């Protein structure tokens, strides 16, 4: 299960999406999130599905990889849906179920489905960013976008480096957790039985070696960076310079069209 988590993974390729400038993909991901929260009607999701479907097909990423990214948050999606079903109220005419203090309204079911779809689309859309962008490109893209903040003393390069390293090490830590869990289970550790308190105590044989391994990896990474004379972003050169191409402008036009649809659906469509 842990090995199937796709957060932070990168799949090399030469697709339309892979060849986009990392700044284009980062900004498109941000604008995609904005469009999702702008749209407040189901009809707007037609444009979102069309945009996302085009991006997934163009990236040549297998849908199984994207589906694996959804698995860890299924419980969160179900919990969000349940909250909306039971907590959203409506009119007496829209009451679907009533037993004791439990009341389920049509508005609650509608909100639950809408919010669940929004979460699924949000995860699928943002997963494409890390799946099609290498850690180095991601670092350069974030640093370039944060460059204007350097004038007020914001360490753009250091922030970009920390964010990218944290994102990149998620799959590594998941793999390490899976190995430690299997090793401890082979020694008789039980992570499933017992109540919540007992399960929390059973996690100690997993968390202690995981923290030790994480600190060791961090120390090895720091030593490797120092051995290569890494001194931050000042005076640092890059093998590949970032530059916008025609495909980047096409990508910007597509995401801006989705934003326009979001504004129309929210403010103009009755």
pLDDT digits (tens, 9 = 90+) for 44-55: 999 999 999 999
Q: Which residues pair with 105 in a beta bridge?
A: 95
CB 13 within 8 A of CB 102: no
Alpha-carbon distance of 37 to 122, in angstroms, equals: 10
Alpha-carbon distance of 165 to 30, in angstroms, equals: 20
**Sites in the chain below the pLDDT cut of 70:** 1-8, 233-236, 270
pLDDT in the model for residue 3: 52
pLDDT in the model for residue 251: 94
CB 184 within 8 A of CB 206: yes
The alpha carbon dihedral of 166, 228, 11, 211 has a sign of negative
Here the tokens at position 19 are 């060849």
Whole-prediction pTM = 0.80
> Dihedral through CA 14, CA 16, CA 19, CA 22, nearest 10?
-130
Here the tokens at position 251 are 């990508």
Per DSSP bridges, beta strands 102-105 and 95-99 are antiparallel
Question: 210 vs 62, 197, 221, CA distance in Å?
Answer: 31, 20, 16
Backbone φ and ψ for 97, nearest 5 degrees, come out as -150, 135
């Amino acid at each position: 299960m842990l090995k199937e988590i796709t957060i932070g993974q990168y799949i090399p390729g030469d697709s339309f999406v892979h060849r986009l400038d990392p700044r284009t993909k980062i900004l498109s991901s941000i604008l995609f999130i904005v469009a999702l929260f702008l749209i407040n009607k189901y009809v707007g999701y037609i444009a979102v599905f069309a945009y996302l479907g085009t991006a997934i097909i163009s990236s040549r990423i297998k849908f199984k990889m994207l589906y694996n990214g959804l698995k860890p948050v299924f419980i969160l999606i179900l919990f969000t849906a349940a909250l909306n079903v039971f907590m959203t109220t409506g009119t007496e005419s829209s009451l679907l179920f009533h037993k004791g203090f439990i009341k389920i309204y049509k508005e609650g079911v509608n909100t639950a489905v809408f919010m669940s779809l929004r979460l699924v689309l949000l995860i699928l859309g943002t997963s494409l960013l890390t799946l099609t962008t290498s850690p180095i490109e991601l670092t350069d893209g974030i640093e370039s976008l944060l460059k204007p903040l350097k004038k007020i003393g914001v360490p753009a390069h250091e922030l970009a480096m920390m964010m990218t390293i944290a994102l990149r090490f998620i799959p590594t830590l998941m793999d390490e957790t899976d190995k430690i869990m299997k090793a401890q289970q082979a020694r008789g550790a039980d992570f499933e039985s017992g109540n919540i308190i007992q399960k929390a105590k059973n996690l100690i044989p997993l968390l202690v070696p995981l923290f030790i391994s994480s600190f060791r990896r961090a120390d090895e990474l720091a030593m490797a960076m120092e051995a290569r004379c890494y001194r931050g972003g000042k005076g640092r050169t890059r093998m590949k310079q970032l530059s916008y191409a025609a495909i980047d402008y096409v990508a910007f036009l597509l995401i801006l069209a989705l934003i326009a649809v979001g504004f129309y659906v929210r403010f103009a469509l009755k």
